[in-house]
Chain A
Amino acid sequence: MPERRVVITGIGLISALGSNKEAHTRALFDGTVGIDRITVFDPSGFPSQVGGQAPTMKMNKLVPKAQRKSVKLMSRDIELAVIAADDAMKDAGLNTRANNPDGPIDIDPIRSGITIGAGAICCDIAELAAAAEYGKAEGVFSLKKWGSEGMSHLTPLWLLKYLPNMLSCHVSIIYDLQGPSNSITCAEASGLLAINEARNHIAQGKADVMVAGGAENKVNAMSLLRQCTQNRASTHYNDNPKEASRPFDKKADGNVVAQGAGIVILEDMERAKRRGATIYAEITGAGASNTLCDDYIAPNAEAVGMTVAMTKALKQANLKPDEIDLLIPHGLAVPEHDQAEFNAIKKTFGDHTVNLPILLTKSRMGNCGAGSSAIDLVIAALVMHTGKIPGNMNCSDPIGDGTLNIPGPQGLDKNINHLMTSCYSYGGQTAAMVLSKV
Chain B
Amino acid sequence: MTKRVVITGMGIVSPLGCDVETVWKRLLNCECAVSKTEIFDSETFPTQFSAQVTDFDFLEYLPEDVHDAHKSASRNTRFMLGAAMQAWQQAKLPCPLGGAKGSSGSEVQCPSADRVGVYLGAGEGPVDFGPFIAATTEAWQPESNEIDWVKWAQIALEQMDPAKELEQEPNMPVAHIARLFGLLGPTMSCLTACAASTQAIGEATELIRNGQADIIITGGAHSMIHPLGVTGFNRLTALSTRNDDPQTSSRPFDKERDGFVLAEGAGALILEDLDSAKKRGVPILAEVIGYGTTADAFRVTDQHEDGRGGTAAVRMALADAGLAPSDIDYISAHGTGTSENDSIETRIIHNVFGDIAGDIPVSSVKSMLGHLIAAAGVVEMITCVLAVRDKIVPPTTNLTTPDPDCDLDYVPNAPRKVPVHIAMSNSFGFGGQNNTVIIREFSE
Interface residues of A, Cβ cutoff 8 Å to B:
41-46, 70, 73, 109-110, 113-114, 118-120, 123, 125-126, 128-130, 132-133, 135-136, 140-141, 143-148, 151-152, 154-160, 162-166, 168-170, 172-173, 175-187, 193, 197, 200, 204, 206, 221, 225-226, 228-230, 288-290, 292-294, 296-297, 304-305, 308, 312, 425-430
Contacts and interface: CB of A to CB of B under 8 A. Distances in A.
Contact of A221 (B117, B149, B308): B149
Contacts of A308: 114, 184
Interface in B158-214: 160, 162, 165-172, 174-176, 178-179, 182-193, 196, 199, 203, 206, 210
A294 B69 contact: yes
Top 4 nearest A-B pairs by Cβ distance? A45-B153, A159-B232, A147-B44, A169-B431
B171 A429 contact: yes
Contacts of A204: 206, 210
A229 B293 contact: no
Interface string B403-444: 000000000000000000000000001111110000000000
A133 B142 CA distance: 8
Interface stretch (B55-63, B234-242, B244-252, B331-339): B234-242
B235 A428 contact: no
A172 B178 CA distance: 31
Interface string B293-337: 111111111000000110010001000000000000000000000
Contact of B189 (A123, A160, A178, A185): A185
Contacts of A179: 293-295
Interface stretch (B10-18, B35-43, B274-282, B359-367): B35-43
Given A148-B44, A185-B189, A226-B165, A169 B433 contact: yes
B184 A304 contact: yes
Interface residues of B, number: 91
A184 B190 contact: yes
B152 interface: yes
Contacts of B429: 165
Contacts of B187: 186, 288-290, 305, 428-430
Interface in B95-128: 114, 117-118, 122, 124
Q: Which of A129, A151, A425 has the most CB of B within 10 A?
A: A129
Contact of B174 (A46, A162, A186, A289): A186
B28 interface: no
Nearest to B122: A185
Contact of B134 (A141, A155, A178, A221): A141
Contact of A185 (B154, B171, B308): B171
A116 B145 CA distance: 34
Contacts of B64: none
Contact of A160 (B149, B309, B431, B434): B431
Contacts of A160: 236, 300-301, 430-431
A298 to B, nearest CB: 12
Contacts of A312: 114
B169 A183 contact: no
What is the predominant secondary structure among interface residues of chain B facing chain A? mixed
Contacts of A206: 316
B45 A147 contact: yes
Given A173-B432, A429-B188, A296 B172 contact: yes
Q: Which of B156, B188, B210, B293 has the most CB of A within 10 A?
A: B188
B295 A185 contact: no
A156 B235 contact: yes
Nearest to B43: A144
A154 B184 contact: no
Contacts of A225: 153, 156-157, 160, 165
A166 B178 CA distance: 27
B149 A230 contact: no
Given A151-B235, A160-B236, A290 B294 contact: no
